């Protein structure tokens, strides 16, 4: 159906009221609250009613879906006008009408209620003002309980229904007859007025709280700026000073402050490279720089550009007096260093005590054996055979070698703990070194083990190693393999190159290391729980670990209790 012009509810009401009713200017937030208050009276008193409402766009209906579903259970008819298609789920509870593009109703927010207790019309015309907050959009609003104005509103709505949905017009006309217009009851007007007064009071409280918070913020800001050791300087895009508050930081008074309209680079005498820093800031960079002034004060400068709609219009420089902070940090570092030294001294003292206890215990056995052997040789030399005398002397020699091993281990461990163990690298004949240590271990431990050496390096290759440290590492690994395995079990030594890494593997089929002990096995004086019957200081693997680490390498232990152990040493292969 075509029509010459579309009706405007707001203009029809405005023409009817003239100057008799003031036209209000309300925000969307207030308009929504008033309409909710009117609808709530229908819900609260369960009033059968005919309700017409209009939105500018469908998002309003999305927010109001639950409310209108609830209303539909009380009101007799609800008719909704909107500029966009409404959600399908609302069709079962209300009549929906989508407005034409040029329909004035698209610019209007309205509510008309016709019930047995009251009738009302509320209509707002969007002012199309640009606002950041949707709730602050403004409307010109006409609002009245007068039956005559409600009737005018209903007439305009009927015109709309005749155009969009003539099929339902008779039903809604009958509903209009069922609720003849009347003056609202005093009880409902009182209730409505009370809610509006309460709403206004809440708004006043919010505004007062906001103003109080703003006042508190301004006061705190003023106190903070007054007492903080900070100078603020603002320059324009040419580096000319627009603002500064120089006098608030006493230490900065050694710098002659600039007056506004002077170029910032004049401070270069006290703040070197300042012009370059300002140029960087005006190029869009954030900078930071520390300066030490002539009196020893330390000033930190932070700068960032001022950007207005993608255009750099100036720069902000903040100068902080960090003298006391840096002094406190220096004192803190010194304190932490002294704490570290004290902790190291305590650890070293505890280590020395432990070393002395272990030495006293471990040295007792070889010394007793040597004393006993020497006494026998002295007292019964003429009664002993040559073989018995040689065996006595060899026994003394083995105990001296054992003591020598323990002394070397303790010496290396103490130097490593004090970080005094330095490497002296030189080319080594590694095969010869390992064969010498095999012979030494056999002699020192009276070993009958079958020790197999699988040497895969070229005979002419001479790796760069510290002979003393590496010899002791090989000796300790071999000694462990001999001490903790039966003489009828073989020991295998493999030496080969893997890329640029020297690899040495020592494998035995001995008692192995319990899994729970592996994590701490490199700690000094740590021994497996299953080796209590075998003498030892518990320093061997600790020394191997530290020696290999000094060479830039690593140690890996693969062990299973009762099956054996493989120790793998890896160090960079340098010729």
Same domain for 46 and 123, yes or no, is yes
**8 Å CB contact between 485 and 510:** yes
Shared domain check, 297 and 153: no
CA distances, 547 to each of 347, 472, 553, 559 (Å): 21, 9, 9, 21
CATH of the domain at 514: 3.30.565.10
Q: Is residue 371 part of a domain?
A: no
Q: Which residues are CB-contacts of 480 (< 8 A; sequence separation ≥ 6)?
A: 508, 540, 541, 565, 567
pLDDT at position 226 = 54
Q: How confident is the model at residue 58 (pLDDT cuts 50, 70, 90)?
A: very low
Q: How far apart are CA 163 and CA 2, in angstroms?
A: 8
Question: Same domain for 449 and 558?
Answer: yes
pLDDT for residue 419: 58
Lowest mean pLDDT among 213-222, 290-299, 491-500, 509-518: 213-222
pLDDT at 316: 84
Whether the pTM exceeds 0.75: the reply is: no
- The SS3 of residue 299 is strand
Q: What is the rounded average pLDDT for all residues in the chain?
A: 78
Instruction: For residue range 200-246, list pLDDT tens digits in order.
Output: 777 777 777 766 665 665 665 555 555 555 677 888 888 887 877 66
Q: What is the pLDDT of residue 568?
A: 93
Q: For 328-373, what is each residue's pLDDT tens digit?
A: 888 888 888 888 888 877 776 776 676 666 566 556 656 776 787 7
Cα 478 to Cα 472: distance, rounded to the nearest angstrom: 10
Looking at residue 291, the DSSP 8-state letter turns out to be E
pLDDT of residue 474: 87
413 within some domain: no
At 93-124, the pLDDT tens digits run: 567 777 777 777 777 888 888 888 888 888 88
Q: Could you give the CA distance from residue 530 to residue 562 in angstroms, rounded to a whole number?
A: 10
Average pLDDT, stretch 7-27? 83
What digits encode the pLDDT tens for the residues 442-487?
877 777 788 899 999 898 889 998 888 888 888 888 888 888 888 7
Residue 252 within any structural domain of the chain: yes
Instruction: State how far the Cα of 321 lies from the Cα of 296, in Å rounded to an integer.
Output: 11
Domain membership of residue 444 as a residue range: 423-572
Domains: count for the chain: 4
In this model, does residue 552 exceed pLDDT 50?
yes
Looking at the structure, tell me whether residues 276 and 354 fall in a common domain. no
Give me the pLDDT at residue 443, please.
Answer: 74
Whether residue 445 sits in one domain with residue 524: yes
| CATH code of the domain covering residue 300 | 3.30.450.20
> Has residue 177 got a pLDDT over 50?
yes
The answer to whether residues 31 and 126 belong to one domain is: yes
End-to-end CA distance of the chain: 101
Instruction: Give residue 1's pLDDT band: very low, low, confident or very high (50, 70, 90).
Output: very low
269: pLDDT strictly greater than 60: yes
Give yes or no for a contact between 296 and 281, defined as CB atoms under 8 angstroms apart.
no
Predicted local confidence at residue 507, as pLDDT: 92
User: Does residue 331 share a domain with residue 314?
Assistant: no
Q: Please tell me whether residues 129 and 259 are part of one structural domain.
A: no
How far is Cα 157 from Cα 165, in angstroms, rounded to an integer? 11
Distances (CA, A) of 296 to 254, 293, 321: 11, 5, 11
Residues in the chain: 575
Kindly state whether residues 142 and 53 are assigned to the same domain. Answer: yes
Residue 324's pLDDT band, with cuts at 50, 70 and 90, is confident
């Amino acid at each position: 159906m075509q029509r010459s012009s579309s009706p405007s509810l707001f203009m029809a009401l405005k023409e009817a009221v003239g100057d008799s009713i003031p036209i209000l200017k309300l925000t969307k937030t207030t308009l929504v609250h008033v309409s909710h208050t009117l609808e709530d009276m229908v819900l609260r008193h369960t009033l059968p009613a005919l309700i017409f409402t209009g939105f500018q766009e469908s998002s309003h209906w999305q927010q109001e879906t639950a409310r209108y579903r609830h209303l539909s259970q009380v009101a007799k008819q609800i008719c909704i006008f909107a500029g966009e298609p409404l959600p399908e789920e609302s069709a079962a509870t209300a009549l929906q009408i989508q407005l034409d593009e040029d329909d004035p109703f698209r610019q209007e927010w309205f509510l008309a209620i016709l019930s047995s207790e009251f009738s009302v019309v509320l209509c707002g015309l969007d002012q199309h003002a640009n606002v950041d907050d949707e709730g602050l959009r403004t409307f010109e609003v006409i609002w009245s309980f007068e039956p005559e104005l409600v009737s005018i509103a209903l007439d305009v709505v009927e015109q709309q229904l005749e155009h969009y949905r003539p099929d339902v017009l008779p039903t809604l006309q009958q509903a209009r007859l069922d609720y003849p217009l009347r003056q609202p009851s005093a009880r409902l007007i009182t209730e409505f007025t009370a809610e509006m007064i309460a709403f206004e009071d809440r708004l006043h409280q919010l505004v007062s709280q906001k103003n109080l918070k703003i006042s508190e913020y301004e006061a705190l800001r003023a106190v903070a700026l007054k007492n903080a050791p900070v100078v603020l300087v603002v320059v324009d895009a040419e580096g000319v000073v627009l603002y500064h508050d120089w006098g608030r930081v006493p230490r900065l008074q050694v710098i002659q402050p600039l007056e506004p309209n002077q170029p910032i680079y004049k401070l270069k005498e006290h703040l070197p490279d300042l012009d370059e820093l300002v140029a960087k800031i005006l190029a869009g960079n954030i900078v930071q720089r520390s300066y030490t002034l002539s009196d020893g004060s330390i000033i930190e400068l932070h700068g960032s550009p001022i950007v207005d709609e993608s255009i750099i219009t100036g720069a902000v420089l903040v100068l902080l007096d960090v003298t006391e902070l840096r002094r406190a940090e220096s004192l803190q570092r010194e304190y932490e260093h002294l704490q570290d030294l004290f902790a190291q001294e305590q650890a070293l003292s505890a280590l020395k005590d432990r070393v002395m206890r272990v030495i006293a215990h471990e040295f007792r056995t070889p010394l007793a054996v040597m004393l006993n052997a020497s006494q026998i040789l002295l007292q019964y030399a003429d009664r002993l055979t040559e073989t018995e005398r040689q065996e006595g002397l060899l026994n003394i020699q083995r105990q001296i070698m054992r003591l020598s091993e323990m002394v070397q281990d303790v010496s290396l461990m103490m130097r490593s703990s004090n970080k005094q163990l330095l490497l002296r690298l030189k080319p080594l004949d590694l095969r010869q070194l390992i064969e010498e240590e095999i012979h030494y271990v056999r002699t020192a431990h009276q070993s009958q083990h079958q020790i197999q050496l699988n040497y895969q390096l070229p005979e002419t290759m001479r790796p760069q190693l510290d002979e003393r440290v590496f010899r002791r590492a090989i000796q300790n690994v071999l000694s462990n393999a001999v001490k903790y395995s039966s003489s009828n079990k073989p020991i295998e030594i493999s030496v080969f190159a893997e890329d640029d890494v020297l690899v040495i593997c020592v494998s035995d089929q001995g008692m192995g290391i319990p899994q729970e002990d592996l994590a701490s096995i490199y700690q000094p004086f740590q021994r497996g729980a299953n080796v209590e019957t075998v003498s030892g200081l518990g320093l061997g693997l600790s020394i191997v670990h530290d020696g290999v680490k000094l060479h830039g390498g690593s140690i890996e232990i693969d062990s299973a209790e009762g099956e054996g152990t493989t120790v793998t040493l890896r160090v960079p292969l340098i010729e």
